[in-house]
Structure 1
């Protein structure tokens, strides 16, 4: 059964919000339409500049993955803006933001996230309505940060925290501080990162509803023009500026090695099955292993900020590459799930980048230690040899 037909069936059974959610796939307010709306109502605030980012080829790789070429090239980035949409409805769990019969695409981050919100909402909304928790209080002014992927560290940083740049621009222009709509239960990294950015419990609204109204929904534009649609590098610059220097002042970085290995031994997937052998090679080159789940957000930011070389399996542990400074990055890339987001992040902050093509038995990864030694030599010397092996 399709999302649309399931939503309609639930609507026929007395859950009208499910119908709105399902129909949203076909009826949205684009970024261009959003800009026109907020300009007409006099709330638009333009900031930043148009720009572009050029991503060159990886500096070295062991086993070429042709899918990585999708990220190479020059990408144009739009000028950001923020504005308010009056009389909006938030529908679902996690919610989509509606103005009339159309949902506001920029409030829902991306089409992929919007689709997941729909699927999760159709499953969750009837239960909340039946339990009496379906309708939330009306809000005067708020910005939506909650979505289906928000409990993942990368998605929280790249798709929620970066939106606060627009919120801060709005606050500076209007003198008003809108509430932040977040998930029902914040993770430790969500709570700490908000505190580091100056937000406390009084600034938050935990979403435990299926529907509420917002008099003024503050919507920062979401710059995702890069194909595949990844967040703009410029949105990370603001976050780096807010967190990096404070972390370096607050954390004693002398206890960290400049050569950093991000371990996934505490993860459920993409673990390195020959981690002991990999660790032995890395130890010979002066690397120390870190499990980021055992560290605070501020410690993690400081760890990356002082790093000279970072080695890691593909995963959210590489998110804080945005805080590195001329670092070399070696990524273990699963060959059947190639994703260039951290390749792009490394290049956007002026770093050296290389990857190893890794087999992925049972959702984990096997790293060829001979290839690892070869790419470490290239990374530490900042060489650009291209392909190291077939």
Structure 2
């Protein structure tokens, strides 16, 4: 999350303004793009990569990976029961995976927008949060593609929306795409990889997953132009955490020295406001400690330590946040209780729990959310009476 805490509550309104501005500015910037040559923004787009191939068959090719898969989900107990965010995803259809190959392709911005030599934005490999109309893509907030950096040889893109600064998105939208690349182009070697690598956890994950460099940092004001650009599809673009993706991550990132006894974990999000912290944490912790829980901030551990710790987890209680992504490495049957504000219920971590066979439950704060608006308060703090949380914990412990 890059917005200052004081304005995060206005995210839904800012997002609408953001989309409107891209729609308006893009109309102008696409008009002048032909004059700017290779620095001009994409003039048109396709919704599916197969259509991009059809429009530029001489420069674009598609390497097939896995087929589309229907993924049934188990009913989800929680309070209040039957929350629509989870009910609506009881049957998910995961699209087929592939790697798109673009000769003289361009990769724009820190979100990794794929652009063909003919000026087509391939929207399927360039998805962005809350954007379904390509004309509202943040690519069009700038009049040009910025400076063009030519990279010789074959360049693999693992750049994606949110991957630059979020552990969940880096693991599932960036690292996981390497699995798609291996599946669709087995044995293929590349000369460089465009992927965020500025933080400790990013470098650790790249090393642990065995993704070779050299690495190129995606930047908002720069476009990488490659002799041969390879862009895997994003298996998690709809926050579905497909079972095949989860299995690949579990196999690729194994535990090495897990604790010898099962762990009961409470994941803290600290004390900064507007970060989805649990407000009654200090009241809750003494009771959790009596039940054998320890308080943990996953960000204080190395990635391997996080993998090892969660590999031994028996129960995990946490307000919604990226630290809970580590249940990816927990054993099947791990018990998970996720806490949400009433204004923001997110299915991404629930989908991981479904894939690993976790006993997952949720609690949503009782303050009424606006009808149909489950993501209005993306950074709202969580306030749930501790006795309500403890009842859910005791039910989970059984």
Aligned residues: CA RMSD? 3.4
In structure 2, stretches of 5+ residues that fail to align are 1-19, 368-376
In structure 2, the CA distance between the partners of 1:274 and 1:55, relative to structure 1 (3 Å rule), is same
Partner residue in 2 for 1:102 = 120
CA offset digits 1:81-135 (Å, max 9, x no partner)? 3342222122345441111221122332456478899765555676x95xxxx12
Task: Report deviation, 1:332.
Answer: 0.5
Judge conservation of contact 1:358–1:365 (CA < 8 Å) in 2.
Answer: yes
For residue 234 of structure 1, what is the aligned residue in structure 2?
Answer: 244
- 158, 161, 172: which one pairs with 2:175? 161
TM-score by length of 1: 0.80
Are 2:309 and 1:298 aligned?
A: no
Q: Tell me, what secondary structure is at the counterpart of 2:92?
A: strand
The 3-state SS of whatever aligns with 2:207 is: helix
Distance 1:339 1:310, change over 3 A: same
Structure 1 residues 35 and 16: alpha-carbon distance in aligned structure 2, compared to 1, 3 A threshold = closer
Distance 1:274 1:35 in 2: 54
Change beyond 3 A, Cα 1:224–1:169? closer
Contact 1:346 1:353 in 2 (8 A): yes
CA contact (8 A) 1:262 1:311 kept: yes
1:369 lines up with 2:383 in the alignment = no
- Aligned-residue offset at 1:37: 8.2
Using a 3 Å threshold, how does the CA distance of structure 1 residues 210 and 114 change in structure 2: closer, same or farther?
farther
Name the counterpart of 1:386. Answer: none
Contact kept, 8 Å, 1:158 with 1:231, in 2: the verdict is yes
2:74 to 35, 47, 56: 56
Q: Could you say what secondary structure the match of 2:150 adopts?
A: coil
Partner residue, 2:266: 261
Matched residue, 2:365: 358
Match of 2:201 in 1: 189
8 Å Cα contact 1:38-1:84 kept in structure 2: no
Are 1:20 and 2:51 counterparts? no
**Which of 352, 355, 359 is the matching residue for 1:348?**
355
2: CA distance between counterparts of 1:312 and 1:301?
17
How many residue pairs match? The answer is 362
Greater relative contact order structure (CA < 8 Å, 6+ sep): 1
In the alignment, which residue of structure 1 is the partner of 2:294? 288
- Structure 1 contact 270–314 (Cα < 8 Å) conserved: yes
Instruction: Indicate conservation of the 8 Å contact 1:95/1:117, yes or no.
Output: no
User: 1:143·1:217 contact (CA, 8 Å) conserved in 2?
Assistant: yes
Unaligned ranges ≥5, structure 1: 382-390
Q: What is the TM-score with the length of structure 2 in the denominator? A: 0.78
**Does 1:334 find its partner at 2:348?**
no
- TM-fit CA distance, 1:149: 1.1
Q: Match for residue 380 of structure 1? A: 397
Rate the CA distance shift 1:215–1:262 in 2: closer, same or farther, 3 A.
Answer: same
Q: Which has the higher helix share?
A: 1
3-state SS of 1:138 partner: strand
